[in-house]
Amino acid sequence: MNDSRYIITGLIVFIVLVTFPFWANAGKAAPPAPAPSLDTPAIQQLPEKQCVEATAYMRTDHMKLLDEWRTRVVREGKRIYVASNGKEYEMSLEKTCLQCHSSKAQFCDQCHNYLDVQPDCWTCHIEPKESK
């Protein structure tokens, strides 16, 4: 047991190195999630300010909805979506979604950058021009 001081020192160094990411970031909170403003001219002109589905659903599952729309339009030729409230919408990113959510920087980029996700919407669709 003449090497016990080396073993103990090595164990302490190992534990410090392994746990460093945890205790170095202790107390640091993540930046707050972005809250896109719904105060756009297009939305303000609507008599009923409601998206194609409920807000909670759109925040978590809008990509699933858009993928479903793409499949129905491109592969099945169906263009009308019946929402959970029974209202009908044209399945179109540009004609339905971007009519109200006209600012890509405000509605798309803000949340996608925060979550570090890279959707592929703009590989097929023309990216909307931001008005200055």
41 vs 83: which has the higher pLDDT: 83
Contact 98, 128 (CB under 8 A): yes
Residue 130 has pLDDT above 80, yes or no: no
Which tokens sit at 124? 């097929």
Average pLDDT for the chain: 87
Q: What does each C-alpha distance from 63 to 19, 60, 66, 118 come to in angstroms?
A: 36, 8, 5, 11
pTM score of the predicted model:
0.68
Query: Which pLDDT tens digit goes with each residue over 30-73?
Result: 788 888 877 777 788 888 888 899 989 998 999 999 999 999 99
What residues contact 53, with CB distance under 8 A and at least 6 apart? 61, 65, 83, 84
